[in-house]
Structure 1
Amino acid sequence: MSTPEALQRAASSLQHTTRQSVAELFSKDEPITVGDYLLTRLSQLGVKSMFGLPGDFNLGFLDLVEDHESIEWVGNCNELNAAYAADGYARVHQNSIGVITTTFGVGELSAINGIAGAFSEHIPILHIVGVPSTVQQKNRPVLHHTLGDGRFDAYTKAAEQFTVAQTNLMNLENAASEIDRVLTQCITAARPVYLTLPTDIAKAKISSDGLKTPLVRHTPPNDPGAESFVLDEIVKLVELAEGKVVVLVDACTIRHDVKDEVHDLLAKTHYPVFSAPMGKTAVNESYERYGGIFCGALSRPDILETVKTAKLILYIGAIKSDFNTGNWSYTIPDSAVTSVELHSDHTQVQFARFPSIGMKHLLPRLTERLKPFKPTGKITVPRTVEQAPPDPSTTITHDFLWPTVGGFFGKKDIIVAETGTSSFGILDVPFPDDSIFVSQILWGSIGWTVGDTLGAALAAKQLGLGRTILFVGDGSLQLTVQEISVMIRSGLTPIIFVLNNKGYTIERYLHGKTRKYNDISNWKWTTILSTLGGVEGQTCQSYTVGTKQELTTLLNNATFAKADKIQLVEILMEWDDAPRALKRQAQLSAV
């Protein structure tokens, strides 16, 4: 790992080169359309795909998108799926953002659930909405896609609840600065933003001068005095812990771009590290001091006992939601255990909260302060390998499924797990290095993974990563299945494992185990790919496995593992089987 000084020099050199190349590109300050200004900014941020649907208020802008040299338009089946796809793209393309374009009212409201989920889980998305002209917005006629009462701002008010910044580009004088403002908020806060583009603004010309200056990707440095005080307080707690320190990484380690800083901290202190469910793959799971998933009372017994031996827990990027903490059972029942929480916008030392002391700038300095306290041997890390328990039955159970598919994963694979049995079952499966885990444990919108897989697979293809592998229940897949057609049209080749357990198993365990409202229609899953545009045996391949031997044989098939075409595997499972962690979570949160 490079030193902080070397990294700073490299970053400064890169910034100078970027400024120079951008300045040369726009040295003549040639006029540019507002739409092209926006697209250039997105290209500078690494965006190569834009999701959404056409509508009469965004068609002019979509002309510019389709003609753009580096940004591809990906037309979706509906706006909700498009928002999911933008989410998946941003999760995998971790130095970029997701982008969705919809039309006024009817389109943007359909997308809002996906945008809300991204807000909840700290995912940077730009939502572009094509809206009526500036004249129509001022005169407020009874126009299609409105509520008929003149409230043209109603949808913006809705968007304010699920985005960190909004702008309506009503004049050319500040269009560039407003675009820059919301995009900066998007990339620094790692949350969605909202931008409306009137029909008469999209192709109007403005100065390109602003494009000479790259957007700032990170929050400003911490106040030196306050940061020094916080560091002193943390070091005092570390000294009192006498080396018994445990690090717990979570989702915001990934979302707020501190994976490298955490790696450096672990390498120089040798502290044992565990991951919350939402933070899985924040550190490579082959790391010798990585101990597995800590989820409070839902943790494996050996992990729970190990964490209990700590005198100080260092939380990095924690999101303490119910499913991410074992129903808030993180608290260690011992008054001697202290805690420090590092977040993107504040630090908490025990019960004292320090606003604006963010972890991006704090972590390198903390690492340097903690090097003298290297706790080698103080806490032994459990290294249990997840294995299927002995069972003479040929039926595929969750106890068998997850350890078995774990051996199928490879380096740099993107593994997507739907809310429910999949996201709970896969947690204890060790992942290969540089793989990416995609789940939605906080927001939990079922069906989300299908659109998300589209965006994730596109980003993986652009970045040269491994396979994209989706695990989704039959109930969840029925909500958003049509987006598979876009995967086929786009030439993507994910592997889709459909857990056919005849209904909403997670709901059955929460309440109404035998109620009809948790049942679904049983689709002919092996015909789905051909129905949605694939040619069976050529551009797609479908399978059904009903026994352990059939599943094992398929996973060992080199042609299947190659994933050179989109593939769907229907896995037949019992309706009342579920992973251990899900059963325990259901007991804690049953209604």
Structure 2
Amino acid sequence: MSQGKEMHLGNFLLSRLAELGAKTIQGVPGDYNMGFLDQIEDHPQVRWCGNANELNAAYSADGYARTAFPGHNGLDKTTTTGRGKVGVVVTTFGVGELSALNGIAGCFAERLPVVHIVGTPSTSAQGDHALLHHTLGDGRFDAFEEMSRKISIASVRLGDFKDDATGAVTAIDRALTVGFRQARPIYISLPTDLVNMTVPASSLEKKLSLDEEADDADAGKACLEEVVSRIKRAKDPIILVDACTIRHGCLQEAHQLVNESGLPVFSTPMGKGAIDETHPQFGGIYVGTNTEPAIKELVESSDLIISLGALLSDFNTANFSYRTPRSNTIEFHSTRVMVGHATYQGVSMKNILPRVTSAISGDLSKRLAETKKQLNKYENRLPSREEEGENAGPDGQAISQEWLWPRIGQFLKPSDQIIAETGTSAFGSLAIRLPGSKIPSFHAQILWGSIGWSVGACLGISLASREENLGRVMLFVGDGSLQLTVQEISTMVREGLTPILFVLSNEGYEIERKIHGPQRSYNNVATWDHEKLLESFADPLRDSSVGGDRQNFKESHEHDIKPSETKYYAVKTKKQLEDLLNDEAFNKADKLQLVEIYMRRGDAPKALLGQAKTTQASNRY
């Protein structure tokens, strides 16, 4: 890896990625990246996890980057960044990188630090405009990089530094720092002939500078005075926590503000899990007009909204239906603070929130004693038969959306990691009150909303959870979404991972049916036998007369990781699900388990019905 005072460029890059928390690197081999893959497999700090395809690899890197953990999540002061891992995906030029772009775009939209490394043809082949495979046949070698520029915060073309080792390492360090600080993807192209280019080994002596940059002093002072003045004048201020509080490593600062101010706190769908939902000051999830009436009243009657890390997308706000005037809102963002209609540029929430907390600490809690009595009624209460309506079936034993989600909430433990697929699961799981946890434990792709995302993300979150000794991993996905990315279950098996996969079977895309075309055939999917599907993934080491030397495969397989055992369950009634959730062996989650929950077509969570109604009006078909 290192030759005295020099090391290979590929190994330098890998060491930097390890410095950013990457212990597993994912992707798909191709002839333009395999020299780099050799270095990954030989590197002492990282390991390789091959995926079924590049799209799934990008989804998995997304999930990996979402996973905050003790020591990196801002609640443990062993680091200063307050952020989790960087995700890494490696693809080959052209065909491979384009397959990954949908997943990378999701990382850009949802503010996730993912590094996309593309193995490209040699610098000489590019200079000659050679008519190579995986090209467009017109001599252009920058076309795909230009596509990626639109969804990357920084791009590095290492071929530009073939005679400049210092320039290459500087460009890598600059891009990694920008991507990590701004929580966005970066793109690095690595030509085949530069993988083993030598660079100074001393380049690693200085660690990456990841701490928050200092605020503009004058803007920070003026902003602090105005913010504190507004908060102290307010009669009923509240805190509203959103996704960028997590993405930009401000969880510690947010919790300190909540604890020391005594203010009521709410979260958005994308901010779910940022605040301990068992906290006595937690009031619930605010989604504009799609909010439970009692929670909606508490938020919208406030005379000051202290908004942390807002991402005001349509699904995060019920089609922009907030009833909170800008004049009564203070928005804290990663690089600016907005107070009413004024904006203070160059002031970050990570830097200024501790100063705000210190200035207001103890001044507000006595005034809020009565308000607190209204809080934390957000609970996992099972509905009555009347509340379930016809979805409970004639004998009341059908598993309805209204009943499922609070029951799952009762099943969860503080250390669990929950992944909810775009659509029914993402909206249904908003009704869950998460158990108390020191780290974000809920993951959904609400802004980008790519169906099938959750299966790949489950792999990445499972890998990160194993590395950091977190709890059980649970995926909630519909039978339609599962079909897009189901191959990655085989990777979970091969990797010895043991998530619980809850598959909601209702014959298709229920979210799309609610938005448009409930009886249209395009919202239906083929019916799969999930038990046999799982069996086809479940025994990669079985004896076979085909496929080469199986014994040799067993001996060299994935650095002695033992493939996971699997178990399938079909659940059609409340009693069957109750028995399963109470089963001690099932709760151990020591094997990969797929639970197929049969649900009535047409049944949907209340939050989904509300969002579908506003989306229908917006689409105007």
Please classify the TM superposition score into its range, dividing by the shorter chain length. over 0.9
Shift of 1:529: 1.6
Secondary structure of the residue that 1:507 maps to in structure 2?
Answer: helix
Deviations 1:318-371 (A, max 9, x none): 100001011111133x69x60000011111111112222111111111111122
Structure 2 vs 1, CA of residues 51 and 296 (structure 1 numbering), >3 Å: closer, same or farther? same
Q: Could you tell me which amino acid in structure 2 is paired with residue 422 of structure 1?
A: S
Deviations 1:86-113 (A, max 9, x none): 0000101442200000000000000000
Mapping for residues 250-399 of structure 1, pairs under 5 Å: 250-332=242-324, 338-378=328-368, 379-380=371-372, 381-384=374-377, 385-391=379-385, 393-399=396-402
Shift of 1:175: 1.0
1:523 and 1:395 map into 2 onto residues whose CA distance is 21
Match of 2:222 among 229, 234, 238: 229
Contact 1:187 1:218 in 2 (8 A): no
1:255 and 1:126 map into 2 onto residues whose CA distance is 15
Deviates most, 395-404 or 136-145: 136-145
Match of 2:419 in 1: 416
Q: Could you tell me which amino acid in structure 2 is paired with residue 317 of structure 1?
A: G
Match of 1:404 in 2: 407
Shift of 1:538: 8.0
Structure 2 vs 1, CA of residues 113 and 123 (structure 1 numbering), >3 Å: closer, same or farther? same
Deviates most, 172-181 or 578-587: 172-181
Deviations 1:396-432 (A, max 9, x none): 1000100111111101110000011100011121111
Match of 1:161 in 2: 150
Secondary structure of the residue that 2:413 maps to in structure 1?
Answer: coil
Deviations 1:445-497 (A, max 9, x none): 00000000000000001111000000000000000000000000000000000
Q: Could you tell me which amino acid in structure 2 is paired with residue 126 of structure 1?
A: V
Match of 2:602 in 1: 576
Shift of 1:80: 0.1
Match of 1:41 among 3, 12, 16: 16
Deviates most, 290-299 or 217-226: 217-226
Shift of 1:46: 1.8
Contact 2:60 2:456 in 1 (8 A): yes
Q: Could you tell me which amino acid in structure 1 is paired with residue 145 of structure 2?
A: T
Q: Could you tell me which amino acid in structure 2 is paired with residue 374 of structure 1?
A: L
Secondary structure of the residue that 1:292 maps to in structure 2?
Answer: strand
Structure 2 vs 1, CA of residues 383 and 372 (structure 1 numbering), >3 Å: closer, same or farther? closer
Match of 2:97 in 1: 108
- 1:431 and 2:462 equivalent? no
Give the paired residue count. Answer: 563
Q: Could you tell me which amino acid in structure 2 is paired with residue 370 of structure 1?
A: I
- 1:457 and 2:462 equivalent? yes
Contact 2:499 2:592 in 1 (8 A): yes
Secondary structure of the residue that 1:330 maps to in structure 2?
Answer: coil
1:150 and 1:346 map into 2 onto residues whose CA distance is 44
Shift of 1:133: 0.9
1:573 and 1:230 map into 2 onto residues whose CA distance is 52
Deviations 1:266-306 (A, max 9, x none): 11111110000001110111111011111111111110011
Match of 1:180 among 161, 173, 179: 173
- 1:512 and 2:502 equivalent? no
Contact 1:306 1:382 in 2 (8 A): no
2:6 and 2:538 map into 1 onto residues whose CA distance is 43
2:512 and 2:63 map into 1 onto residues whose CA distance is 25
Contact 2:262 2:364 in 1 (8 A): yes
Q: Could you tell me which amino acid in structure 2 is paired with residue 351 of structure 1?
A: H
Match of 1:32 in 2: 7
Mapping for residues 7-26 of structure 1, pairs under 5 Å: none
Secondary structure of the residue that 1:158 maps to in structure 2?
Answer: helix
- 1:547 and 2:573 equivalent? yes
1:97 and 1:297 map into 2 onto residues whose CA distance is 35
Contact 1:285 1:430 in 2 (8 A): yes
Contact 1:495 1:566 in 2 (8 A): yes
Relative to the length of structure 1, the TM-score reads: 0.93
Match of 1:65 among 13, 27, 40: 40
Q: Could you tell me which amino acid in structure 2 is paired with residue 74 of structure 1?
A: C
Match of 2:448 in 1: 443
Contact 2:110 2:445 in 1 (8 A): yes
1:485 and 1:292 map into 2 onto residues whose CA distance is 37
2:187 and 2:366 map into 1 onto residues whose CA distance is 48
1:358 and 1:70 map into 2 onto residues whose CA distance is 33
Match of 1:201 in 2: 194
Q: Could you tell me which amino acid in structure 2 is paired with residue 76 of structure 1?
A: N
Q: Could you tell me which amino acid in structure 2 is paired with residue 113 of structure 1?
A: N
Mapping for residues 531-546 of structure 1, pairs under 5 Å: 531-534=536-539, 539-546=565-572
Q: Could you tell me which amino acid in structure 1 is paired with residue 405 of structure 2?
A: W
Contact 1:231 1:366 in 2 (8 A): yes
Structure 2 vs 1, CA of residues 218 and 330 (structure 1 numbering), >3 Å: closer, same or farther? farther
1:287 and 1:114 map into 2 onto residues whose CA distance is 34
Match of 1:585 in 2: 611
Deviations 1:515-565 (A, max 9, x none): 111011110012222111349998110000001111111000010011000
Match of 2:551 in 1: none
Q: Could you tell me which amino acid in structure 1 is paired with residue 587 of structure 2?
A: A
1:514 and 1:166 map into 2 onto residues whose CA distance is 45
Match of 1:148 in 2: 137
Secondary structure of the residue that 1:221 maps to in structure 2?
Answer: coil
Deviates most, 474-483 or 202-211: 202-211
1:250 and 1:178 map into 2 onto residues whose CA distance is 32
Q: Could you tell me which amino acid in structure 2 is paired with residue 51 of structure 1?
A: Q
Secondary structure of the residue that 1:426 maps to in structure 2?
Answer: helix
Shift of 1:568: 0.1
Contact 1:546 1:572 in 2 (8 A): yes
Shift of 1:236: 2.1
Deviations 1:358-401 (A, max 9, x none): 11111111111122532335333432223222225111100010
1:190 and 1:241 map into 2 onto residues whose CA distance is 33
Contact 2:498 2:564 in 1 (8 A): no
Q: Could you tell me which amino acid in structure 2 is paired with residue 156 of structure 1?
A: E
Relative to the length of structure 2, the TM-score reads: 0.88
Contact 1:302 1:382 in 2 (8 A): no
Contact 2:564 2:592 in 1 (8 A): no
Contact 1:292 1:428 in 2 (8 A): no
Deviates most, 68-77 or 108-117: 68-77
1:514 and 1:85 map into 2 onto residues whose CA distance is 33
1:399 and 1:432 map into 2 onto residues whose CA distance is 19
1:299 and 1:459 map into 2 onto residues whose CA distance is 33
Instruction: Specify every segment of 5 or more residues in structure 1 that has no aligned partner in the other structure, as ranges.
Output: 1-24
How well do the aligned residues superpose, as a CA RMSD in angstroms?
1.7
2:466 and 2:241 map into 1 onto residues whose CA distance is 27
